[in-house]
């Protein structure tokens, strides 16, 4: 995979003009753009179409509800022709299978369906606070195996679990990794982080990178710097 194609820029913003400018300047520098809850809630699907045009879309809405509702949400998301779409793996096997069946309705144009395992903002003590006694790595592997068994194409997981997941789930299971921070940027609210080069070396397929690019004085230069590091 070309280094540029691995990078998904997170457009987590409620500034439509800023998002439009970022897509215009970065579309030839990166593989695609991730639209999350903030942008989608503020502007809706029509703005996603208008801002992205024919750029590749990672629809990052992390659906988590009863199976019928999640299946309907995935079917609605297909109208935006995303390359990637995700659901929360902790929604359970019935929900995951319903999401996989809904994604399959797109036929040859179906997006890769990903399960979100453990958010990269959570560490072991955070999991214990909500009643999850296992270390984060154990929970990530458990949920990733569940996703595979329910027909999903891959998972979203932190960089620190990439090597474990690649070893356990093989070369064809897609690993999409947020919490990626170049050595020259701040980690922000992410607790389980790794540099882009380290993440790819460990087995990551796709890297989600937001603030190191979008808040850089020169986003194009920042994106090119990351691509050069990967290459």
What the chain holds in terms of domains, given with CATH numbers, is: 3-230 (3.20.20.70)
Distances (CA, A) of 207 to 66, 92, 197: 29, 25, 10
Pairing assessment for the beta strands 154-156 and 206-209 based on DSSP bridges: unpaired
Does the active-site annotation cover 191? no
The per-residue pLDDT for range 56-113, each reduced to its tens digit, is 999 999 999 999 999 999 999 999 999 999 999 999 999 999 999 999 999 999 999 9
The per-residue pLDDT for range 3-27, each reduced to its tens digit, is 999 999 999 888 999 999 999 999 9
Phi, psi dihedral angles at 45 (to 5 degrees): -65, -30
Q: Does 130 have pLDDT greater than 80?
A: yes
- pLDDT score recorded for residue 73: 98
34, 37, 62, 191: the active-site residue: 62
Average pLDDT of the residues in 176-202:
78
């Amino acid at each position: 995979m070309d280094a540029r194609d691995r990078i998904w820029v997170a457009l987590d913003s409620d500034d439509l003009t800023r998002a439009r400018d970022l897509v215009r300047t970065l579309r030839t520098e990166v593989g695609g753009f991730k639209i999350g809850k903030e942008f989608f809630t503020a502007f809706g699907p029509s703005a996603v179409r208008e801002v992205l045009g024919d750029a590749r879309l990672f629809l990052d809405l992390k659906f988590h509800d009863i199976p019928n509702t999640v299946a309907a949400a995935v079917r609605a998301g297909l109208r935006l022709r995303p390359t990637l779409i995700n659901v929360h793996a902790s929604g359970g096997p019935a929900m995951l299978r319903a999401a996989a069946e809904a994604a399959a309705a797109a036929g040859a144009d179906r997006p890769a369906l990903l399960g979100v395992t453990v958010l990269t903002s959570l560490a072991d003590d955070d999991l214990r606070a909500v009643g999850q006694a296992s270390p984060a790595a154990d929970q990530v592997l458990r949920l990733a195996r569940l996703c595979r068994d329910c027909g999903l194409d891959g998972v979203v997981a932190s960089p620190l679990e990439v090597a474990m997941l690649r070893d356990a789930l093989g070369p064809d299971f897609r690993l999409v990794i947020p919490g990626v921070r170049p050595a020259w940027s701040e980690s922000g609210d992410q607790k389980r982080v790794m540099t882009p080069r380290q993440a790819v070396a460990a087995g990551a397929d796709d890297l989600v990178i937001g603030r190191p690019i979008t808040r850089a004085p020169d986003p194009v230069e920042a994106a090119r710097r990351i691509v050069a590091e990967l290459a």
